[in-house]
Copies of this chain bind each other. A is one copy, B any other.
Amino acid sequence: MTKAVFYHAGCPVCVSAEQQVLDIIDGNKVELEVVHFGEGKADRIPEAESAGVKSVPALVIDGNVLHINFGASMDDVKKAVAA
């Protein structure tokens, strides 16, 4: 089973991308976790950065990062969740 994590921060770009990714992913092959930094998941930011996430939305598949569109840089995310 492939493990995938979709990291996002609730921005409109993220939410739109999330819906499209959820729509096309094969649930039989992929175990998908969605992590929304803005909803109590700010403690997952270091994990995302360690995986190589530079911006959100991003999809990490078995440790490989796919950055999708360009919603917000991780620096912007850190500022937003700290505010």
Contact = CB atoms under 8 A, between A and B. Distances in A.
Q: Helix, strand, loop or mixed for chain A's interface?
A: strand
A69 to B, nearest CB: 5
Interface residues of A, number: 22
B2 A61 contact: no
A66 interface: yes
Interface stretch (A20-28, A41-49, A75-83): A20-28
B64 A66 contact: no
A17 B66 contact: yes
Interface string A35-57: 00000000000000000000000
**Chain B CB within 10 A, most for which of A21, A24, A67:** A24
